[in-house]
Structures are given as structure tokens and as C-alpha cells.
Structure 1
């Protein structure tokens, strides 16, 4: 199993999860034409995507889902709450799930993990295939014992390092937005992400990607400092996802068979 990103951040998110038999797109926060362009960079044909699974209804995760689904006749998996938001109206085929459900798409087993975020029924996902485990965990404002349990034991993990709290509080956002981002149902800051890493069982962890970095309230240097502080709790190869180009294909097993991501927009 391998994974790659079309882009990660508040301007749009989309992640690919792939085995030899199955290709899943997690979220599609870019317009269809832009999604197609980004897929070409990864040598992926849009028509080869077997399913789209959606974490929640916010536009940077769902904005391009309906158009893409209709055009390529791609089924869409989402929670009842996400569907009720109306943001996915008109998809080709909708498969409703509940937070906490596990299901299978082709050769990939998927667990939908509920997360604390200000959306209707938000989830993040844990994938298992061919003995490998991948966790995708962004868009959450606080750490719960359930999350620690669900994302322990991963071979690869994409984890949110959204903001540096001091930069957020000193920045230009209005006070209401600062409270939302920093709140228990907002986004993880660098210190929270570091704490979560320290609480996870990372004995299998080989690949760690810091994602969903804020372009205004974070930097490569701040995120790397937080990652370094948690380094004693894992021996994983570390990468940073960026908004403009995400990251190239990474193997869940940590082998060097795929190109690796190295930079993030500051």
C-alpha cells in the first residue's frame, strides 16, 4: 500500500491511497479541472479511482467531490451527517456510513474514526491492506483516548500540524476565528500534535507526514521543531506535506521505492 497527496491545507485537501488492485481518493477539496491536473503530476488517471471517501463537509475537503463524482461516475462514501449538510448533493452514487463503521473497498479495509471537529459528523480514516496500516488524521481540535487507541500501531501516519499557537494568536485572524481554530473542535497546533505522537504506540511507525499546515500561522521550521521534540517516540522517516503540491508517492512499508516529499510552503 502507498499514499500521496494532491495538496494539504486550508485551500484544498485530497489524498490518494493505493494498492495494486484499488485506488481511493480521500476528500476532494479542489475543482475538478485542478484535481485532474494534480492527478496527472502523480501519473494517475482520474477514471481509475474506485471511490471517494469524505472526512467532512467543509469546502477544503468536499468542494470538488460532487463534480468529480458525476463526471467520472465515482461512488462517494460519507457519513450521514456529512450527507445531511447538502455539500455533496448530486454525486453519482452515495454510500452512507456512520462514524465508527468499518468497511471494505476492493482490497483496502477502512475504519471511519470519529474526531472532535466543528462539522456535522466528521471522521478520519485508518486503512489496512496487505499487512500494512495507514492512518490519516487531520481536522481535529483535541486529543481523545479513542483517537490514541485507533491510530496506535500504524506503519505510516499523516498527522495534522496545523498551527503554532503563538503565531495564531499574534496573527491577523479575527478573534472569533482564532477561538475556532484553537478550540477543542478546531485544529491541532504543533504542541498538541507532538503530544499525540508521544501518546501513540509507534513501534511500527516507519513513515510520518506532517500535514494541513497553515500558510499564515505555521512554518516549516515550527513544525519540524515539534516533530524533533517527539522524535524519541518514533523512528519514522519524516516528511512535510505542502498546499501547492502535497507530496509524492510514499510506501506505507517505508521502503525507498517511491519519491519522497521534502518541502512545505511557509
Structure 2
């Protein structure tokens, strides 16, 4: 497990076995993800897929460019994929009925040109011919197939072409609660309570080792507690200190959202889980998604360590802190 970044400004983690390597979320820019991977000694060319937990921007901001750059598939739940496509696709100003009318007019114009013995191609290239508003997503009225335009093999978009922002090399769907495999990684997604369309966490299994990613959840429901049994390395949310959040700079509406059952886990909630429901199986517990405004790393660490101190048998667990600005040293088990 290599946590490249964790926090409200972007999240991304590499999970790998000896033969398979996947990226969980792409919440930084393509260029920054590649930079972080280089710093952590991870080779982007070896990534087999990208998995998305949910469609919030701090988990998908670099997704399309990175997937096209590396030419690898992206795994979503279907509702999350649909929500992401809606989010990244520019709104159009032409209705479908008007577009059909425009297509009919072009057909009639071409037919008239042929009847007069001229080339219909000239009409297609007439600079005065009207164009549909959704031309900016990679199609024109004369191109009804709307073939996607890929970015060039770099993190910068091709300057001379307009790209389809929702185009991906390949899309695979999974369902929370139903396991699937990528290479020799067995992956079990589980539903988490968060204010997204269909958010999930993941348990990864390979070669007798189990790792889990569980962030962006408002509380710890029974299905999440069950999923996090017998885990060897756990990335777990410890988002905010309750007092810092209540006294902090966020508007009250945002504070209510964070504190809600579809918001984020506090240090206290994470400590309660570690004290009451955690089975102690992990060699490493990585505290992630720490708020830069409403938490302090040492507060999160102390709360977790105190929770484990109530169970002497759990003291062998190593507590690590995932940061927003720098990648964490790779965890190898």
C-alpha cells in the first residue's frame, strides 16, 4: 500500500501484489499523481487499472487524463460512472429536437447540392453553416457517431483538438458487496455512508494478505465493521477533531454536512471503532483524510493510540499518518 495523497484536496493510493497494481482514486492532477508515484518509487507504466470509490472531485480530478495517458481501464459502480460523466460533460445549449432539425437541414442542403451537380463536401466545410452547441465535446453535426477524441500521450491536452472530457480507454462496472478480480488481486467493494451517489470502500486480497481502504464515511455501520475484519494494512479515515470543527472557519452548513451520518469520521468516532469493534489484526493502521482546517495530525494519532492502549494485545499495531502534501512510505507486508 502506497498512499500518494489523502485529504480534502486530493486522494490517491496504490495497492499492489507481486503481479498486479491498481490505483484507488485519482484525486490529484495527472502530472501530480505521476510526480508522487515517482517520489514513492512506483512505476505508472505498471498500473493495471484505476478504481473509483465515489465521484467527489477530490477523488476523480485527474481521472480522465491519467486513464487516457496510461491507457488503462477504470472501474466504477454504474451509478458513480453516470454521476461522473454528468459532472465532467459540459452542458449543451441546443435541444435534441433542434439538433435533429439541424441534421435534417444539412441533409436537404447536401441533396440539393448533388442535384445541382456540386459536391456535398463543400457544404460540410462552409464556414457559415451552423454548428451544434455540443460541438465542444468532440462531435459535429456532420459526425453523428460522435467518436471520442483522445488526449495525446501526455498529461497536457492536445492543443489542436477538443477532447471528450468523459472519454476513457475502457470502463468496467462492479457492484458493492460482490467480489471481482483484477489479475491476482481479489477485490471486495463495500457500501459506505457518504453523500455521494454510490460510494464504497475496498478490501484487497492476494497471497494471503488483506488490505483495506475505508475513508469518506459519516459513521461505522455494521457492514463496514464486518468488512474490516482480518485486515493486515488498513487506510482508515480520521477526518476532524470535534472541537476544532465546531470552532473552525467552515460555514455552519458545511459543519453540519461533515458531522452528519453521510459526512466524515471524527477522531473520536475512529477511536471508538478501534476501541470497541476493531479485531486487532492489522500490522499497520494508516489514518487518512485528515482535515487541514479542522484537525491536527498529533490529535488524530493520540486518539487512535489511546484507543488501542485500552487493549494491550493491540499495541503491536503501528499507527501511521497519511498526508495531503507528500506520499507515505510504501507499506510492504
8 Å CA contact 2:215–2:289 kept in 1: the answer is yes
- Counting only pairs closer than 5 Å after superposition, residues 72-221 of structure 1 correspond to structure 2 as 72-85=70-83, 86=85, 87=87, 89-221=166-298
Map of 1:237 onto structure 2: 318
Change (3 A) 1:126 1:203: same
Tell me, yes or no, if structure 1 residue 23 matches structure 2 residue 32.
no
Distance 2:80 2:32 in 1: 23
- TM-score, normalised to structure 1, is 0.91
Offset of residue 43 of structure 1 = 1.9
Confirm or deny: 8 A CA contact 1:99 1:114 kept in the other structure: yes
Output the CA distance in 2 between the equivalents of 1:22 and 1:16: 10
TM-score by length of 2: 0.73
Q: Is the 8 A contact 1:151 1:200 kept in 2?
A: no
Q: What's the offset of the Cα at 1:203? A: 3.7
Partner Cα separation in structure 2 for residue 118 and residue 126 of structure 1 = 21
Q: Paired residue for 1:246?
A: 327
SS at match of 1:249: coil
Kept in 1, the 8 Å contact 2:218–2:262? The answer is yes
> Shift of residue 198 of structure 1?
2.2
Higher share in helix: 2
Structure 2: state its 5+ residue gaps: 89-165
Q: Which has the higher strand share?
A: 1
Deviations 1:25-79 (A, max 9, x none): 0000011111111111122222210000000000100111111111111100011
Matches of 1:19 and 1:100, distance apart in 2: 22
CA contact (8 A) 2:235 2:286 kept: yes
Q: Does 1:226 align with 2:303?
A: yes
2:239 touches 2:290 (CA, 8 Å); kept in 1? yes
1:132-163, Cα deviation, whole Å (9 max, x unpaired) = 11111100001111111111111111110000
Q: Give the Cα–Cα distance (whole angstroms) in 1 for the partners of residues 272 and 44 of structure 2.
A: 37
Would the aligned equivalents of 1:6 and 1:14 in 2 still touch at CA under 8 Å?
A: yes
More displaced 10-residue stretch of structure 1: 38-47 or 177-186: 38-47
Q: Per-residue displacement from partner, 1:84-113 (whole Å, max 9, x unpaired)? A: 112472111100111212101111100001
After superposition, the CA RMSD in angstroms is 1.2
Distance 2:195 2:206 in 1: 30
- 8 Å CA contact 1:148–1:199 kept in 2: the answer is no
Segments of 5+ residues of structure 1 without an aligned counterpart are 254-266
Q: Of 37, 42, 45, which aligns to 2:43?
A: 45
Aligned partners of 1:137 and 1:160 also within 8 Å: yes
Q: Kindly state the Cα deviation for residue 237 of structure 1 after the two structures are TM-superposed.
A: 1.0
Distance 1:70 1:247 in 2: 26
- Structure (1 or 2) with the larger CA radius of gyration: 2
Greater Cα shift, 98-107 or 21-30: 98-107
